[in-house]
């Protein structure tokens, strides 16, 4: 179970809120069954729909990430880091931008100069996505 919460793309606040709304929907269904009042069934349906939409609307960007948010295909904002909400079915996260510095090691090479002196060169490439 611990592995599920650390899965890529699963955010804990959305899972907890969805579980709370689902529990509230189950409680309303139980009250509706025990009392026979039909308005509890309407509340159960509304709470179940909210519980289903919370994981789609509540997003969490890590400290090194930014999210590109599109509303109906047009750029709306670049959100993050932290918790942010989008409108399900209207907004979408097009991509997640990683802003950490990426390094690439390039192996050292030996060569001879014109006057036959051995030369050893090494380099490191640093990349940062803005």
Per-residue pLDDT, averaged over 94-107, amounts to 81
3-state secondary structure of 50: helix
Per-residue pLDDT, averaged over 80-86, amounts to 89
Per-residue pLDDT, averaged over 91-96, amounts to 90
Q: Which of 3-17, 45-59, 114-128 has the highest mean pLDDT?
A: 45-59
Residues near 80 by Cβ (< 8 Å), separated by ≥ 6? 61, 62, 65, 66, 67
What confidence tier does 125 reach under pLDDT thresholds 50, 70, 90?
low
Average pLDDT across the chain, whole number: 83
What confidence tier does 11 reach under pLDDT thresholds 50, 70, 90?
confident
Share of the chain above pLDDT 90, in %: 38
How do the domains of the chain map onto residue ranges?
2-102
Residue where the block lists tokens 């929907």:
25
d(CA 48, CA 58): 16
For 55, what's the count of Cα atoms within 13 Å in the CB-facing half-sphere?
A: 14
Range in 12-21, 80-89, 107-116 with the lowest mean pLDDT: 107-116
CB 46 within 8 A of CB 37: no
Name which residue leads in pLDDT, 122 or 5: 122
What confidence tier does 3 reach under pLDDT thresholds 50, 70, 90?
very low
Name which residue leads in pLDDT, 114 or 85: 85
d(CA 29, CA 35): 10
């Amino acid at each position: 179970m611990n592995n599920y919460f650390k899965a890529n793309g699963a955010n804990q606040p959305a899972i907890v809120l969805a579980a709370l709304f689902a529990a509230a929907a189950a409680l309303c269904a139980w009250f509706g069954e025990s009392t026979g009042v039909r308005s509890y069934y309407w509340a159960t349906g509304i709470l179940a729909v909210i519980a289903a939409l919370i994981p789609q609307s509540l997003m969490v960007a890590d400290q090194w990430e930014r999210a590109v948010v599109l509303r109906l295909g047009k750029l709306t904002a670049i959100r993050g880091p932290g918790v942010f909400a989008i409108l399900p079915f209207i907004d979408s996260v097009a991509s997640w931008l990683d802003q950490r510095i990426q390094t690439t090691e390039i192996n050292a090479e030996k060569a001879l100069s014109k006057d036959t002196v051995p030369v050893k060169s090494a380099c490191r490439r640093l990349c940062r996505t803005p």
